Amino acid sequence: MSTTTAHTPERTWKGRALSAVKRQEAGLLGVIIVLGLLVTLANDNFLSKDNLYNVLQTVVVVGIIAVGQTFVLIAKEIDLSVGSVLALSAVSAGAAYGNGVNPWLAMAIGIGVGALSGFAVGSVVVLGRVSSFIVTLGMLSIARGLTQLITGGLPQTMPSELSFIGQGRVLGGIPVSVIIFLVLVILGQLLLTRTVFGLRVTAVGDNDAAARTSGIPVGRTRILTFVLIGTLAGVAGIVFSTQVGVAEAQAGLGYELDVIAAAVIGGASLSGGRGSIIGAFLGACLLGVLRNAFILLALSPFLQQLSIGLVIVLAALFDQWRQGNLRHFSLGNLRQRLANRTNA
C-alpha cells in the first residue's frame, strides 16, 4: 500500500473541492438548491412537503426512463422511441385487463411489451448494423401506430387494483410512484457501477476495440441496454396510466426529448462511455423544479420552454468545460491571440 502512494496525484483540499465541483452531480445539486432557494424567497410554498412530493411525482415518469436512457447513451447508442413505447406498454396492459386478464398479469404484459420492443430495436441495431438513431426513430412511429391500432383511439381503463401505483401514498404521504422511482435509481446506479454488466456497458461505449479484445460480448451488451430501457419505458407506462386511471393512445408524446435532456444534464455523453444514474435523477429533478417554479411564480409558460432549452445547452457547455475541452477560451489564450493579431 505504502509503495503505491508515491505517484498518487496531490490531494489538497483545494484540489478536492475543485474536483467535487467538477463532478456533474455536485454541480447539479448546487444548481437545484440555489434555484430552490430563489423560488422559496418569492413563494414559500415551494418548500412545503406537498409541493416537493408534487415536484417529484411529475418527474417520476421521465426520470424512470432517463435511468435506461443513461445506459443506452453510455453504450454509445440513443433511444428516441421511449415516449411511444411507454404508450404501447400502458395500452397493452389496459387492453389485456379489458379482455379479462388478471390485473397483475396485465401489468406484466405491459412491461413485457416494452422489453420486447427494446429487444427488437437492439437486435436490428446490432445485427443489422443500422444506427440506433434511425431504428428508434422508426420504432417511435411503429409503437405509436400499434398503440392506436390497439385502442382504436379510445382510452383503455386501467385496473383499479393497480391505481395505488400511480396514486397511492405510504409512510405519511410519500407517493408510491416516487418510491418506485428512487428504488429504480438506486438499483440503476448499482447495476452501472457494481456489476459486470454495468462495466461492460461502459467498456463497450468507451472503447469498442478494447472491449472486443477483452472478450466482452459487445453485441449482446448493446442489445441488453435496449431491453433495459424498453422495460423501464414499460414500467413508466404503468406508472403514468395508473396516475390518471386510463391508458391513452397519446400518452408520453414528446417525452423522448425530456428523457434525453435529463440524462445529458446528468452528465451522460452522447459520444459514449460516460454517464451517471444519480446525475440523470438530478437532471430530471432540475427539469421538474424549473417547471414547478414557473407555476409557483405564475410566469409565462412560453418562458418556461425557453429556459428549459437554455438549461440543456448550459449543461452541455458545463460538461465540456469539465472535460477540459474549452481551454481555447481561457483568458491567457485569448490574450495571446490578441497579441498575435496585433503583431501580424
Partner 1 sequence: MATTPVDDVRPAALAAVGLAKSFGAVQALRDVSLTFPAGQVTGLLGENGAGKSTLIRLCSGQMRPDRGRLLLDGAEVSFATPLEAIAAGVVVVNQEPLLIGELTIADNLFLYDLGERPGYGRARRSENVQRARALLDRLRMADYLPDPSTLCRDLSAASRQMVDIVRALSRQPKVLFLDEPNSSLTREESERLFAVMNRLRDEGVAVVLVSHRLAEVYSIVDNVIVLRDGTFVAAGPPDEIDQERAVALMAGERKRAVVAEVMADRAEATAQAEAALELDGLTGDGFAGVDLTVHRGEIVGMAGLVGAGRTEIAEAVVGLRRVSGGRIRVGGRPVRIPNPGRAQRLGIAYVAEERRTEVFHEQSVGYNLTVRILSSLGRLGSVSPGRAGRAARDLARRFGVKAASIEAPITSLSGGNQQKVLLARALAAKPEVLILDEPTRGVDVGTKAEIYATLRELAHGEGLAVWFISSELEEIVELADRVVVIRRGQVTLDAPNNAGPNPIVAAAMGATEG
Which positions touch partner 1 (CB under 8 A)?
Answer: 1, 3-9, 193-200, 202-203, 206-207, 209-211, 213-217, 220-221, 224, 273-274, 340, 344
Return the number of the residue (89 or 189) whose C-beta is nearest partner 1.
Answer: 189
Residue whose grid cell is 477540459? 324
Closest approach of partner 1 to the CB of residue 188, in Å = 14
Closest approach of partner 1 to the CB of residue 19, in Å = 10
Return the number of the residue (160 or 195) whose C-beta is nearest partner 1.
Answer: 195
Closest approach of partner 1 to the CB of residue 17, in Å = 17
Structure-block grid coordinates of residue 155: 382510452
Closest approach of partner 1 to the CB of residue 277, in Å = 14
Whether 275 and 263 have beta carbons less than 8 Å apart is answered as yes
Structure-block grid coordinates of residue 99: 379482455
Return the number of the residue (102 or 195) whose C-beta is nearest partner 1.
Answer: 195
Chain mean position to CA 309: 16
Distance CA 62, CA 263 (A): 10
Chain mean position to CA 337: 40
Indicate the DSSP class of residue 96. H
Return the number of the residue (196 or 298) whose C-beta is nearest partner 1.
Answer: 196
Closest approach of partner 1 to the CB of residue 16, in Å = 14
Burial of 51 by CB count in 10 Å (0-12 exposed, 13-18 middle, 19+ buried)? middle
Distance CA 110, CA 117 (A): 11
Closest approach of partner 1 to the CB of residue 27, in Å = 18
Return the number of the residue (185 or 204) whose C-beta is nearest partner 1.
Answer: 204
Return the number of the residue (49 or 220) whose C-beta is nearest partner 1.
Answer: 220
- CA distances, 274 to each of 57, 70, 72, 205 (Å): 27, 9, 11, 8
Which residues pair with residue 169 across a beta bridge? Answer: 175
Closest approach of partner 1 to the CB of residue 25, in Å = 15
Return the number of the residue (115 or 238) whose C-beta is nearest partner 1.
Answer: 115
Distance CA 308, CA 313 (A): 9
- CA distances, 117 to each of 91, 112, 181, 237 (Å): 14, 9, 22, 13
